[in-house]
Amino acid sequence: MKRILVTGGAGFIGSHLCERLLNEGNEVICLDNYFTGSKENVVHLLDNPYFELVRHDVTEPYMVEVDEIYNLACPASPVHYQYNPIKTIKTSVMGAINMLGLAKRVHAKILQASTSEVYGDPAVHPQPETYWGNVNPIGQRSCYDEGKRCAETLFMDYHIQNEVKIKIIRIFNTYGPNMNPNDGRVVSNFIVQALKGEDITIFGDGNQTRSFQYVDDLVEGMIRMMNSRDGFWGPVNIGNPVEFTMLELAEQVIKLTQSKSKIIHLPLPQDDPTQRKPVIELANKELDGWEPKIALEEGLIKTIAYFEQVLIKKGELKK
């Protein structure tokens, strides 16, 4: 049994990771300040004697004896990370410093949940890990993009200077149950709007592309990365290389929800990437043949069922 710390553990991805780690027989400490995470995501785990839930902000130091750390703490949707940009960059940078300091002291292995946003609005397509990105350092998205880029730098420096055992993954668009209905991300937006029969809002002409991976595929990749060989620290892309336009996604959601929603177009936000698709050869090679298993339609069906229950519970949808 390993003792594992998951920062941001009550969030969308963190809650799935905590459950998987518990199911594999580990002791899990879930750290979250509930800015975007929710106790509801992990309340079903509280009866497990090997699960501990702690309210804490990673911008403050935290002391605990652990074997592994998954550093997920940071708001990840534009609505939330632009709400308080200074706090966002503090979470990425100071949170990384605090967790790396902890890993150094207790000799824990630590994984950084970085992001495809480090590639910015890419001039190279699809994006391999060797691409350095095209990021605006002073734009609306910079607090997140540059915060995550700086965190990667810190991880490498702690590894080189202090021999901390690090792992870095770059997460591409992920969706699934436990997403916040109001997080402003495209999958949750489209599903909630379709279920309510509201207009589906697409920014720009809808021909910009994304690659969507279901959360279970991501969690599998994260655990394989943590357990990968000692000489491999990444960064490694974890994402689905199957590309869809926003229009294709909207039409798929309308079809699966049997909604009468209409598609409307709004102006494209500043620095919004026009295309995003991972090269996953490195993950496939280093992580025991990892690749996404769950197709978009299958994942959307599961996610739609989750959002139906959430909206019914909130009284925003009738049974």
**Is residue 94 left, alpha or beta, with left meaning phi > 0 and alpha meaning psi from -120 to 50?**
alpha
Q: DSSP letters of 234-287? A: --EEES---EEEHHHHHHHHHHHHT--PPEEEEPPPTT--S---B--HHHHHHT
Other CB atoms within a 10 A radius of the CB of residue 18 amount to: 29
- Beta strand spans in 72-226 (E): 109-115, 166-171, 174-175, 200-203, 209-211, 213-214
State yes or no: is 34 an active-site residue: no
What would the two tokens of residue 258 be? 């049997």
- Beta strand spans in the chain (E): 3-7, 27-32, 51-55, 68-71, 109-115, 166-171, 174-175, 200-203, 209-211, 213-214, 236-238, 243-245, 263-266
- State the amino acid at position 143 in one-letter form: C
Check residue 268 and give its pLDDT.
76
Catalytic residue, chosen from 70, 119, 144, 214, is 144
- What are the structural domain ranges in the chain? 3-174+215-241+273-294
Whole-prediction pTM value? 0.94
pLDDT digits (tens, 9 = 90+) for 113-165: 999 999 998 999 999 999 999 999 998 999 999 999 999 999 999 999 999 99
For domain 3-174+215-241+273-294, the CATH class is alpha beta
> In the chain, which residues have pLDDT < 70?
271, 319
Check residue 271 and give its pLDDT.
64
- State the amino acid at position 134 in one-letter form: N
